[in-house]
Amino acid sequence: MSPTAPATATYAVTGMTCGCCVNKVRDKVGALPGVTEVSVDLDGATVTVSGPAQADRAAIADAIDRAGFQLAD
């Protein structure tokens, strides 16, 4: 039996300007249940989230908001 590939989604984030911003987003999103990996690209203004199942967009948006930023539409 082969392992199932994790579900991955990438979201655009507005307002990130520095490494501290990256750390805040990574910490808040990484604390969500079911999230196993978070990658934040400051230059591309994106966050990529992986886990065994697709993360809830609303939960991701809330975590990013709590970090002080917003998902881009």
Hey, where are the domains in the chain? 10-71
Query: Which architecture characterizes domain 10-71 according to CATH?
Result: 2-Layer Sandwich (3.30)
Specify the pLDDT at position 9. 95
Query: Using alpha carbons only, what angle is made at residue 32 by residues 63 and 54, rounded to the nearest 5 degrees?
Result: 100
56 sits in the region (left: phi over 0; alpha: psi -120 to 50; else beta) called beta
Specify the pLDDT at position 3. 63
Per-residue pLDDT of the chain (73 residues; tens, 9 = 90+): 456 678 999 999 999 999 999 999 999 999 999 999 999 999 999 999 999 988 899 999 999 999 999 999 7
